[in-house]
Amino acid sequence: MSEARSVNEKAERWVKAVVEVLFYAGAVLVALLAGGLVMAAAGVSPLEAYRLIWDGAAGDANSVKETLVKATPLLFAGLCYTFAYRSGLFNIGAEGQIYIGAMTGTMAALYVPGLPGFAHLPLCIAAGAAGGAVWAGIAGALKIFKGASEIINTIMLNYMGIYLVSYMVTGPMKDPSGTLPQSARLPESALLAKLFDSRLHYGFVLAVALAVILYIVLNRTVWGYEIRSVGFNKQATKVMGIPVSRNMLLVMMVSGAIAGIGGYVEIAGVQNRLFQNFSPGYGYDGIAVALVGGAHPLGNIGSAILFGGLRSGANAMQRMTGTSTSLVYVIQATIIVLVVCNRYWFGGWKRRLIASLAARFGGDSRPEELRAVQAARETALNVNKGEGSR
Amino acid sequence: MSEEVIVSYLASAIRLSVPLLLAALGILFMSRSGILNIGMEGMVLIGALSGVVGAYYFGSAAAGVGFAVVVTGLVGLLFGFLVITTGADQVVIGTALNLFGLGITTVFGRSLLGMGQEAVRVNGIPSLRIPLLSDIPYVGEALFDQNVLAYASYLLVPAAAFVFYKTNWGLRVRAVGENPLAADTLGVRVHRIWYICCLIGGMLAGVAGCSLSLGILNQFTENMVAGRGFIALSAVIFGKWTPLGTMGASLLFGGADALQLRFQSFGIKIPYQFMLMFPYLLTMVALAWFSGKSKQPAATAAAYKSLADRNG
Amino acid sequence: MEPILEIRGLVKRFGSFVANDRLNLAIRQGEIHALLGENGAGKSTLMNMLSGMLEPDEGEILYKGKPVRFGSPREAGSAGIGMVHQHFMLIPALTVAENVLLGLKQDRSPFFRFKKACAEIRELSDRFGLDVRPEAKVSDLSVGQQQRVEIIKTLFRGAEFIILDEPTAVLTPSEVKDLFRVLRTLKEQGKTIIFISHKLQEIREICDRVTVLRLGRLIGTHSLDGITPADLARMMVGRDVAAPVRKAGIVSQTNRLKVTGLHASESGVPVLKDISFRIREGEILGIAGVDGNGQRELSEVLFGLRSKDAGIIELDGEALQRQQPRSMKEKGVAYIPEDRHKEGLMLQMSVEENLIAKEYRKRRFSKGGIISRRRMRECADEQIKSFAIKTSGASVPVGRLSGGNQQKVILARELMLNPKVIVAMQPTRGMDVGAAEYVHKRLLEASEQGCSILLISTELEEVMALSDRIAVLYKGELLGTMDRESADRDRIGQLMAGIRPNASFAI
């Protein structure tokens, strides 16, 4: 009987996963449709535009690489949001943490000279992580010690981070040999190597590796267990003897560190210099990436590539038609809305679909509530039987 | 410093405060009822664009403002629908609204109004010099040689205070923001209050947008709100969720903005970026200071299902 | 005399759970009628239906002879029924007058008639001796004053019939006296009052008649003249369970847990007063008592979730300095919390993950910070089998299990620790008879293996069936510890009602 059970369980899990993926695909489609409507209203042919976007995102090997270049910072930002979210915290501050991480990483790159690449690059990445961690840690500490909303504080820290970088590149960190408000070029030893002779760099590999690591941390490790437990039920977690506040602060800092690495990777992989406004809102896009990725580290990889493709495709479209890349924001916003409202709009529909499909593939077709009630009844019956025989 | 410098500084401080104040009052109505709107940035952008579009197609700045108010009012109701009726997370929907606002205004701004040097310019809202009052030394010209929206914003502050503290409806708004369940047991229709506050918040976002696009620049430029939606949120928090405090914070932040512009043009050594950080830093300090002192409406960002929907 | 309010065949279900089962009740005009029952007996459900918060599934409510149906609290209010909730429905940031005026539609004008309202509130306050200032901010008021604001709210709306849900639960003794004075004034002026409580002594003091509810059913309505608190206690908690009987004489003489002079308070009000007891190895000490007399606080202090003001807790002769859940767990104290969902389980996490929630750091389940899924699964399969936990798999979220099976998960997790002491708080609340018996059986087995158990329960039968010794908790004090042989229901019932041997009534 237990074997049959586990087969059912597996079938059910698969059906559920398939339905979820279908749902997200549907949400993306609807959002593309909405974007098409916007374009039509703005006087651009949606079909033509989407053809250009597709070509720009996946038309040939180069566009695929460009997509991955754009996906890299998005993946870092998505992981940043995801990680905090899993322990019940809202880190809206990836944008600021990206800037600060880029800044501290660049400092390590420019002002710690004479190291070989194998030592310099990791040092710079660590510096970026530390910068992001401190920036997010401020919001985390205010939350734990003062009870101040981490949502508001991370937003405030976004702007402060952006302005701080703006100050640094116009002042102390300004390239002495140039007139533009930007830092000097990073030394070779601090740069990320390129992949396949293109703009694509090892930062993408790093981001994917990080996603896998976070997946393992969350699902396999003692610490991940604590984090998820804090996210689900703080009071029960406390009763289990697991420290709650300390974990919240740590999670916030790690979340910031992820964004900080993302910031430095963008500088060391693509821009090679620190300058103002190098991030066109990657931090905010990260929220969309995380939501579409189901707040699952591995899911983030797929959604980051999706949004990266949209971005690089939209760049191509803008070059050809003059329609702004900002269209991507409309599509992203629509996806976010569809995903977060899904329980209200599609919850019942999805549950029924899963139940009926699961039944066909040998799973348990009863709705969850009914299952619980029947399980309770079975228990009662069994115990009563046992009593009779005693 | 000469009188001229002071007067022109004060005038520009007020001019820069007006959009902040209008947006902040919109946020104030929403947050007093317990709704956290971090999407104000996007709402104001939509308002700024709609104002110019309306003024361009209908031929007058007044029509532009009217059009903007209708559009952002609808956006406010949409926001309300998503967070009240579907119960979606207010933070996430707010973020989506910011992305949406940035995207849609950029796309439509380019296609309807053109971009760069060729961008459409419209007749802005004219200044209205109030006789006598504007002759008061120093402050007279700054306060009473402004456009109609500025005067409207002056009047909205006492109006909001009156609504909150002197009317039954305002009492209900405050009660819902503190404890929706208690208000519901007394027959207050919680969801209706929320929808109305979202509508007001949206409409004021439209006016705020117009005060930027039609009141200052007479045209729409991409991402022209530039974080003012968030500064408005700061102003509400720093103003301790009261109309008068919000006005004070808006003036302070607008004044800082005007000061940094002057610093830049006079070549004063204090980096202007630190002036720009000032509102955000103050807000963080204030938030840490207030917390535990229950200044914030207690039910902020709490999802609430009304009693009528709970039976069965 | 015509009843002012009559209930006929009232039924309310939540899903498959019947919260109120065909209730019939008649309340007389001008009486103070007590509604007595344990938590979960269905009192609040019934009152929520009377006050329009819930709608009944079957049956009818007659008010002043006419059938009524209230869709909202406002409709009930305008009919003249007001409710004072246990958790006040007040808005602390507003003034008394604002709270009272909120939601009223009497005035056509959109502005408050602030002065007029203040005058009316003052007049009501004087008439009923409520002593409330309309201009005061609610957050500045004491709990007792806040409650009187709630009463004013109902009176201002013209209530003739006032329901008070556990009004004394949050009050200090002197505030209780004030409340009773107000209630008597209200009664004198013709108001009808329903007084919900599970405190027998208070009911005897203030009420005219009492209706007892148990497990959603109505047990009976009695005049308070001819009934003793012990009778009431029995009516309220009594239930016949064929529970396993405790074998006597296996208790060793070594002290396992010793508590001396324990004091604790909640925002200045003492909740535990000079508690002293000891539990020997393999002994079960049962703590009986009506709910809300300090049970929750006692269990929390023992497990380190609440700080104590004074007192010594010794485990195996060693005084525990600073209690925290973690250190208590490591010292071998297991804890079965009262509220499974809030404190016992992470509902969205799987059965296996919940089972290892206290041991995930141990060698057995993790190495180098990585949790061994194989060992976790093995352990879960073993426990699921051993405790007969009904689930379709170890990876199912524990929230999907029935209440009894959730409790088994907690029990399995705590017993896995091989604890020296188990603090079990209401371990069978809300469970069906079969599942409850199973829990009892496992607790007895644990004690036979030398584990000491502190069993805190409001169900007298449970305490009597399992315990070696029994003590009664009353208003934060531990009254008369007795051996099971010398314990009889009547004596315990009296203690639960606060009637001490050779002492007069204590209020």
Measured in angstroms, the CA of A41 and the nearest CA of chain C are apart by 44
Domain spans, chain C = 3-227
| In contact, A316 and A49? CB cutoff 8 Å | no
Helical (H) or strand (E) element with A313: helix A297-321
- One domain for residues A177 and A235: yes
Predicted structure pTM score:
0.81
**8 Å CB contact of C139 and B179:** no
Helical (H) or strand (E) element with A238: helix A234-239
* Residue in A with minimal Cα distance to C347: A232
The pLDDT score that the predictor gives to residue C54 is 83
Q: Is the pLDDT confidence value at B139 over 90?
A: no
pLDDT digits (tens, 9 = 90+) for C167-225: 887 777 778 888 899 899 989 888 999 998 877 778 888 899 999 888 788 888 888 88
Is the torsion defined by CA of C375, C376, C379, C384 positive or negative?
negative
DSSP C344: I
**8 Å CB contact of C402 and A375:** yes
- One domain for residues A309 and A350: no
The distance in angstroms from the start CA to the end CA of chain C is 32
Question: What is the pairing mode between strands C255-266 and C310-315?
Answer: antiparallel
- CB proximity A237 to C under 8 Å: yes
CATH class for the domain made up of C3-227 = alpha beta
| In contact, C407 and A379? CB cutoff 8 Å | no
Best of B280, B290, B300 to disrupt the A interface (most A CBs within 10 Å) is B280
Q: Is the pLDDT confidence value at B247 over 90?
A: yes
Q: What is the ipTM of this complex?
A: 0.82
Average pLDDT score, chain C:
82
pLDDT digits (tens, 9 = 90+) for A30-52: 888 888 888 888 777 888 888 88
The pLDDT score that the predictor gives to residue A164 is 92
Q: Which two tokens stand for residue A369?
A: 């509530």
Q: What is the mean pLDDT of residues A221-229?
A: 88
Rounded Cα distance, B160 and B29, in Å: 8
Q: Which residues of C touch A220 (CB under 8 A)?
A: 370-371, 373
Note down the domain range covering A282: 71-313
Q: What is the mean pLDDT of residues A341-358?
A: 70
The pLDDT score that the predictor gives to residue A373 is 42
Q: C110: how many CB neighbours lie within 10 A of its CB?
A: 11
- CB proximity A371 to C under 8 Å: yes
Average pLDDT score, chain B:
84
Q: What is the mean pLDDT of residues C86-98?
A: 85
Domain limit, last residue, from A313, A332, A360: A313
Q: A7: how many CB neighbours lie within 10 A of its CB?
A: 12
- One domain for residues A108 and A155: yes
**By C-alpha distance, which of C96, C90, C67, C89 is closest to C79?**
C67
* Residue in C with minimal Cα distance to B294: C93
* Residue in A with minimal Cα distance to B236: A152
The pLDDT score that the predictor gives to residue A1 is 39
Rounded Cα distance, C110 and C108, in Å: 6
Q: What is the mean pLDDT of residues B65-87?
A: 92
Q: Which residues of B touch C55 (CB under 8 A)?
A: 311
- CB proximity B285 to A under 8 Å: no
- CB proximity A346 to C under 8 Å: no
The distance in angstroms from the start CA to the end CA of chain B is 72
Q: Which residues of C touch A233 (CB under 8 A)?
A: 342, 345-347
Percent of chain A with pLDDT over 70: 87
| Ramachandran angles phi, psi of C453, nearest 5° | -125, 130
Helical (H) or strand (E) element with C422: strand C421-425
Q: Is the pLDDT confidence value at C507 over 80?
A: no
CA B200 to chain centre: 11
Q: Is the pLDDT confidence value at C111 over 70?
A: no
Give the SS3 label for residue C189.
coil
Q: Is the pLDDT confidence value at B158 over 90?
A: yes
Instruction: Annotate C194-249 with DSSP letters as a single string.
Output: EEEES-HHHHHHH-SEEEEEETTEEEEEEEGGG--HHHHHHHHH-----PPPPPSS
User: By mean pLDDT, which of A287-291, A358-362, B140-144 is the weakest?
Assistant: A358-362
The distance in angstroms from the start CA to the end CA of chain A is 25
Q: Is the pLDDT confidence value at C227 over 70?
A: yes
Which residues face C213 on adjacent strands? C218
pLDDT digits (tens, 9 = 90+) for A113-166: 777 777 888 899 999 999 999 999 999 998 888 877 888 889 889 999 999 998
Surface-to-core class of residue C366, CB atoms within 10 Å of its CB (0-12 exposed, 13-18 middle, 19+ buried): buried
Q: Which long-range contacts (CB under 8 A, 24 or more apart) does A354-361 make?
A: A354/A12, A354/A15, A354/A16, A354/A19, A357/A15, A357/A18, A357/A19, A358/A8, A358/A11, A358/A12, A358/A15, A358/A16, A361/A11, A361/A14, A361/A15
Percent of chain C with pLDDT over 90: 4
Q: Which two tokens stand for residue C139?
A: 């957050």
Does some domain include residue A58? Answer: no
Q: Is the pLDDT confidence value at B188 over 90?
A: no
**8 Å CB contact of C358 and A240:** yes
- One domain for residues A37 and A79: no
Rounded Cα distance, C192 and A268, in Å: 78
Angle at A103 between CA A101 and CA A109, to 5 degrees: 100
Helical (H) or strand (E) element with A131: helix A117-146
The pLDDT score that the predictor gives to residue A263 is 94
DSSP C25: E
The pLDDT score that the predictor gives to residue C506 is 34
Total of domains in chain A? 2
Q: Which two tokens stand for residue C44?
A: 């609040």
Report the range out of B285-299, C168-182, C191-205, C272-286 with the highest average pLDDT.
C272-286
The pLDDT score that the predictor gives to residue B312 is 35
The pLDDT score that the predictor gives to residue A98 is 95
User: By mean pLDDT, which of A2-6, B152-156, C121-125, C201-205 is the weakest?
Assistant: A2-6
Does some domain include residue B155? Answer: yes
Total of domains in chain B? 1
Q: Which long-range contacts (CB under 8 A, 24 or more apart) does B263-271 make?
A: B271/A167, B271/A170, B271/A171
- CB proximity B284 to A under 8 Å: yes
Q: What CATH number is given to the structural domain containing B46?
A: 1.10.3470
The pLDDT score that the predictor gives to residue C238 is 63
| Ramachandran angles phi, psi of A352, nearest 5° | -65, -40
Rounded Cα distance, B131 and B150, in Å: 16
Does some domain include residue B312? Answer: no
Q: Which two tokens stand for residue B3?
A: 């009188």
Does some domain include residue B205? Answer: yes
The pLDDT score that the predictor gives to residue C430 is 67
DSSP A221: B
Q: B39: how many CB neighbours lie within 10 A of its CB?
A: 32
The pLDDT score that the predictor gives to residue A377 is 40
The pLDDT score that the predictor gives to residue C460 is 76
- CB proximity B117 to C under 8 Å: no
- Our CA dihedral for B309, B311, C5, C6, rounded to 10 degrees, sits at 150
The pLDDT score that the predictor gives to residue A361 is 58
**8 Å CB contact of A332 and B103:** yes
Rounded Cα distance, C290 and C212, in Å: 14
- CB proximity C344 to A under 8 Å: yes
Angle at C144 between CA C143 and CA C145, to 5 degrees: 90
Average pLDDT score, chain A:
82
Does some domain include residue A197? Answer: yes
- CB proximity C173 to A under 8 Å: no
Rounded Cα distance, A236 and C337, in Å: 9
- One domain for residues A118 and A227: yes
pLDDT digits (tens, 9 = 90+) for C27-46: 888 899 998 887 667 888 88
- Which chains contact A through at least 3 pairs of Cβ atoms less than 8 Å apart? B, C
Does some domain include residue A110? Answer: yes
Question: What is the pairing mode between strands C161-165 and C81-84?
Answer: parallel
Does some domain include residue A59? Answer: no
Note down the domain range covering B73: 3-307
Q: Is the pLDDT confidence value at A380 over 70?
A: no
The confidence band for C417, taking pLDDT boundaries of 50, 70 and 90, is confident
**By C-alpha distance, which of A48, A64, A116, A38 is closest to A312?**
A64
Angle at C103 between CA C97 and CA C107, to 5 degrees: 80
**Closest CB to C72 among B167, B298, B308:** B308
The pLDDT score that the predictor gives to residue C106 is 56
Q: Which two tokens stand for residue A319?
A: 């070059």
| In contact, A214 and A297? CB cutoff 8 Å | yes
Domain limit, last residue, from A313, A328, A362: A313
